[in-house]
A = this chain, B = another copy of it.
Amino acid sequence: MGEFDLISRYFTRPPRHALLGVGDDCALLQPQPGMQWAVSSDMLVDGRHFLSTTPPARLGHKALAVNLSDLAACGAKPIAFTLALSLPQIDEAWLQGFSQGLWALADAHGCELVGGDTTQGPLNICITVFGEVPPGDALLRQHAQVGDDVYVSGTLGDARLALEVFRGTLTVEAEHFEAARARMEQPSPRVALGLALRGLANAAIDISDGLVGDLGHILQRSKVGAVLTTDWVADSAAISPAMQSLTMNRRLDFALAGGDDYELLFTAAPDQADGVQEAANDCGVPITCIGRITSTPGLQVLDMQGMAMSRRFASFDHFAR
């Protein structure tokens, strides 16, 4: 099987919304009148963004999920994506699984594969995703307001928990491991919640490098500070049964600086609290209030007793040594 057969067998379907899909020099799309376009690219590298043990279907899911998560963080509706794939060799079982996982998530979000590239080389998956958002409705990192509540969606720390089990630094019960592993390998992009938060949230980001680091991006861009509580790490909707099985210290590490969560971190004015909760209920996604935006620059993390913690939580950096 050659490059063009591969594309046609695994990555080509008749276009639905696109004017022209896979198979020409470019895809052609017709933006809805007046809409803005949100664009994001993510590149996944073997051993860094996923382990070689990841089942191909889960990898296909994850490659698109991390991109959809960026659209979710902007409150943009997914429209289309391109896939560029570097493969060491043609492995049909792998391609079958990978494309299956990819299509399943794409279909679930009505997001169409419109083009891309395939080449031979070290395994590398680069997806660029396009979404639509009405002018002024995009959720940005830069619009957090002093006094805003700070929320997270879903649960935090599970992906890191699974990674540490893979690394052999941690042992948990099998059911906890499987649940955490599914969260690491098949994150759920919070697209519906992102859409529902338009007009309610002031700022948003998706948590990919760890809560503290990603909150830092909001603070920096919004030129504000924040106080982060940690009592929710003891017991809240944001802590899964798998995380509950760990010591408090480990939970703090994984929830505050775990990485790979792909949950939304967002801020909203206190008088929007009811609306925010309703939006979350409608989407079936739990949310947890974890702090407040302040005018004092920097991030203050409070311990269970409400005292300032001196401990540092590092953000994930691909080039940090």
Residues of A within 8 A of B (CB): 1-4, 6, 19-20, 23-31, 33-43, 45-49, 70-71, 73-74, 76, 80, 82-86, 89-90, 114-122, 124, 126, 128, 130-131, 133, 135, 138, 140-142, 204-206, 221, 317-320
Contact = CB atoms under 8 A, between A and B. Distances in A.
A89 to B, nearest CB: 8
B33 A33 contact: yes
Contacts of A116: 41
B40 A27 contact: yes
B41 A124 contact: no
A39 B25 contact: no
B25 A115 contact: no
A31 B31 contact: yes
A71 to B, nearest CB: 6
Contacts of A23: 141, 221
A31 B37 contact: yes
Nearest to A264: B25
A2 B82 CA distance: 28
A37 B42 CA distance: 21
Contact of A24 (B46, B128, B142): B142
A33 to B, nearest CB: 6
Contacts of A135: 30
Contacts of A49: 119
Contacts of A84: 41-43, 126, 128
A89 B41 CA distance: 20
A138 B317 CA distance: 41
Nearest to A31: B31
Nearest to A82: B41
B114 A24 contact: no
A25 B86 contact: no
